[in-house]
Structure 1
Amino acid sequence: MRKYADLHIHLALKHLVDKGLEGRMNIWDRIVYNPEIHKPERAASDQYDQSDLTSLVENNVKIAVVALHPVEIVATKSWKNRLIAKIFFGFEVDRLKKWSKNGVNAFTILNRELAVITQEEGEINTKKTLQNIQKNGDLEAKIAVDREDFDNEEITKIVLSIEGAHALTDLPYNTEGEKLKQEVLKNLRFLQFERNLPIFSLTLCHFANNRMVKQSWALPLPGVTKLIPIPVKRELDAPDFTFNDIGLAVLDQCLNQPKEHRILIDLKHTHVDARKEFYEKHIRNSDGSFKAPILASHCGVSGMPDFAAAAKVKNVKREGKKKKYQRFNPWAINFCDEELKIIMESEGLFGVSLDQRILGAANDEYYRAVRDHLKEQYGKSKWDDFYDKDRLGRIHAAMFLDNLLYTVHKMGDEKAWSCVCIGSDFDGIIDPIDCCPTVKYFPEFEELLFKEFNHLRFRNEENIFIPKDKTLETVLRDVFYNNINNFMKKHIHWYAMDKVELSV
Structure 2
Amino acid sequence: MDLIIDLHCHPSMKPFGHSFKADQQKQNPRPTSVACAWHHDRPTLLDKVVNFVAQLTKFRQSDFTSSRRGQVRLVVAALYPPERGFFVNQLGTGPVGDVALDLATGLGHQRIQAIQRQQDYFLDLVAEYEFLRSLDGQTVTLPSGEKARYRLCGTRATVEAALQEPNTVAVLLSIEGAHAFGCGLDPTGRPADLATLQAHIRQVKAWPHCPLFITFAHHFFNELGGHAASLTGIVAKFTNQSLGLGTGLTELGRAVLRELLATTPGRRILVDVKHMSRLCRQQFYALLDAEFAGQDIPVVASHGAVTGSDADRHLFWDFDINFYDEDLLRIARSGGLLGLQLDERRVGSPAALRKAKGHLQRRKILFHWAGLVWNQVQHVAELLDKHNLFAWGTLALGTDFDGIVDPINGYWTHEELPLLSDYLLKHAHNYLTGSGNLSLTLAANRAVDAEEVVSRIMADNALAFLLKYLPASSAAN
Instruction: Output the TM-score relative to the length of structure 1.
Output: 0.79
Partner of residue 54 from structure 1, selected from 26, 49, 65: 65
Between the aligned partners of 2:413 and 2:140, the Cα distance in structure 1 is: 21
> Following superposition of structure 1 onto structure 2, how do residues 77-476 of structure 1 map, counting pairs within 5 Å?
77=88, 80=91, 83=97, 84-101=100-117, 103-119=118-134, 132-137=136-141, 138-152=147-161, 153-154=163-164, 155-169=168-182, 172-174=185-187, 179-193=192-206, 195-222=207-234, 225=237, 233-238=239-244, 241-257=247-263, 261-282=267-288, 288-304=293-309, 326-360=314-348, 363-367=349-353, 387-412=360-385, 413=388, 415-453=390-428, 460=437, 462-463=439-440, 467=445, 470-476=448-454
Q: Please state whether the residue corresponding to 1:443 is helix, strand or coil.
A: helix
Q: How many residues align?
A: 447
Between the aligned partners of 1:279 and 1:340, the Cα distance in structure 2 is: 12
Paired position in structure 2 for 1:41: 51
Q: 1:487 to 1:47 in 2, by over 3 A?
A: same
Q: Please state whether the residue corresponding to 2:203 is helix, strand or coil.
A: helix
1:240-260, CA deviations, whole angstroms, 9 ceiling, x for partnerless residues?
741112111111111121596
Return 5+ residue gaps in structure 2 as ranges. Answer: 23-31, 142-146
Partner of residue 64 from structure 1, selected from 49, 52, 75: 75
Displacement after TM superposition at 1:198 (Å): 0.9
Residue 346 of structure 2 aligns to which amino acid in structure 1? I
Q: 1:370 to 1:33 in 2, by over 3 A?
A: closer
Displacement after TM superposition at 1:12 (Å): 0.9
Q: Does the 8 Å contact 2:38/2:65 carry over to 1? A: yes
Displacement after TM superposition at 1:77 (Å): 1.8
Q: Does the 8 Å contact 1:17/1:92 carry over to 2? A: yes
Paired position in structure 2 for 1:379: none
Higher RCO (CA < 8 A, seq sep 6+): 1
Whether 1:74 and 2:74 are equivalent positions in the alignment is no
Q: Please state whether the residue corresponding to 1:50 is helix, strand or coil.
A: coil
Displacement after TM superposition at 1:267 (Å): 0.2
Displacement after TM superposition at 1:284 (Å): 5.9
1:86-131, CA deviations, whole angstroms, 9 ceiling, x for partnerless residues?
3444443442123323x34311222222222222xxxxxxxxxxx7
Q: 1:189 to 1:209 in 2, by over 3 A?
A: same
Q: 1:224 to 1:342 in 2, by over 3 A?
A: closer
Q: 1:3 to 1:388 in 2, by over 3 A?
A: same
Partner of residue 459 from structure 2, selected from 481, 486, 502: 481
> Alignment identity in percent?
22
Q: Does the 8 Å contact 1:293/1:343 carry over to 2? A: yes
Q: Does the 8 Å contact 1:304/1:330 carry over to 2? A: no
Between the aligned partners of 2:350 and 2:176, the Cα distance in structure 1 is: 30
1:360-392, CA deviations, whole angstroms, 9 ceiling, x for partnerless residues?
1xx3333456689xxxxxxxxxxxxx7345433
Q: 1:370 to 1:260 in 2, by over 3 A?
A: same
Q: Does the 8 Å contact 1:18/1:95 carry over to 2? A: yes
Q: 1:284 to 1:409 in 2, by over 3 A?
A: farther
Displacement after TM superposition at 1:71 (Å): 0.9
Q: Please state whether the residue corresponding to 1:403 is helix, strand or coil.
A: helix
Q: 1:56 to 1:448 in 2, by over 3 A?
A: same
Residue 463 of structure 1 aligns to which amino acid in structure 2? L
State which drifts further: 490-499 or 216-225: 490-499
Between the aligned partners of 1:447 and 1:367, the Cα distance in structure 2 is: 21
Displacement after TM superposition at 1:335 (Å): 0.5
Return 5+ residue gaps in structure 1 as ranges. Answer: 120-130, 306-323, 373-385, 500-504
Displacement after TM superposition at 1:147 (Å): 1.9
State which drifts further: 444-453 or 465-474: 465-474
Q: 1:370 to 1:46 in 2, by over 3 A?
A: closer
Q: 1:334 to 1:498 in 2, by over 3 A?
A: closer
Q: 1:426 to 1:464 in 2, by over 3 A?
A: farther
Instruction: Output the TM-score relative to the length of structure 2.
Output: 0.83
Displacement after TM superposition at 1:38 (Å): 3.7
Displacement after TM superposition at 1:28 (Å): 2.1
Between the aligned partners of 2:235 and 2:246, the Cα distance in structure 1 is: 26
Between the aligned partners of 2:92 and 2:365, the Cα distance in structure 1 is: 32
Paired position in structure 2 for 1:29: 39
Residue 423 of structure 1 aligns to which amino acid in structure 2? G
Displacement after TM superposition at 1:74 (Å): 1.0
Q: Does the 8 Å contact 1:57/1:140 carry over to 2? A: no
